[in-house]
Amino acid sequence: MSLAGRKALVTGGGSGVGAVIALRLAEAGAEVLICGRRPEPLAEVAARHPRISTTVCDITDEAAMVAMVAGFSPDIVIANAGASESAPFARTELAAFERMLTTNLTGTFLTLREGTKALQNKPWGRLIAIASTAGLKGYPYVAPYAAAKHGVIGMVRSLALELARKGITVNAICPGFLDTEMTERSIATIVAKTGRSPEEARASLEASNPMHRLVPPDDVAQAVLWLCAPGSDMVTGQAISVSGGET
């Protein structure tokens, strides 16, 4: 498959699964722009491939997102940036709940909205949200995060229907616990709050997966490539689970 001549935007492209997605898109021939709030990680990823460029942008800043997406005019938009926090529901502060909605839902809304505008006069386009299995089911201690990811999937399904006759597909990819820096932070939180060892904390997350392993980021990147490949034109409005069979 070749994406030569295509332009792809990846939010949160400086680390984790976003970085892997950016690299795979660039390897397939796309011109890739990655954005994030920290310039150093972005630069490290861009140094790994000549077709990757960077810009510093906060996905929750409406004016910045409008300017960035309009200036780049992507054909492929990957709404990947996100964050997670955990706490018992009764001890979850309103500010924490609002942070999860702002970053994971509002930021994805702005990314997809501006991506939709950029694609309006193009005959082909791909809008892909990197959601989570937390958008398909519940998990304890992360209710605000799960609420935001459920919202992302509802938004994707609605937008897919609006764009169904325009050559633009809209999908969500829903990984389980990924083998990334974000999961390492979750492991550190479990250690701090429970006194378990890092190995025990990691094993508890792996146990939630029927394959008893964390999801490799490249599996998510390959799903992105498939959604951009010939033969995927009828796949839209879907929440594709990449989770080792987790239900």
| Distance, CA of 36 to CA of 59 (rounded, Å) | 8
pLDDT digits (tens, 9 = 90+) for 162-207: 999 999 999 999 999 888 777 777 778 878 888 888 888 888 788 8
| SS3 category, 31 | strand
* Cβ within 8 Å of residue 2, ≥6 positions away: 28, 29
pTM score of the predicted model: 0.93
Q: Residue ranges per domain, the chain?
A: 7-176+218-240, 178-214
Q: Which fold has domain 7-176+218-240?
A: Rossmann fold (3.40.50)
The secondary structure element, H or E, covering residue 215 is none
pLDDT digits (tens, 9 = 90+) for 44-74: 999 999 999 999 999 999 999 999 999 999 9
User: For the chain, what percent of residues have pLDDT higher than 90?
Assistant: 84
The residues annotated as belonging to the active site are 145
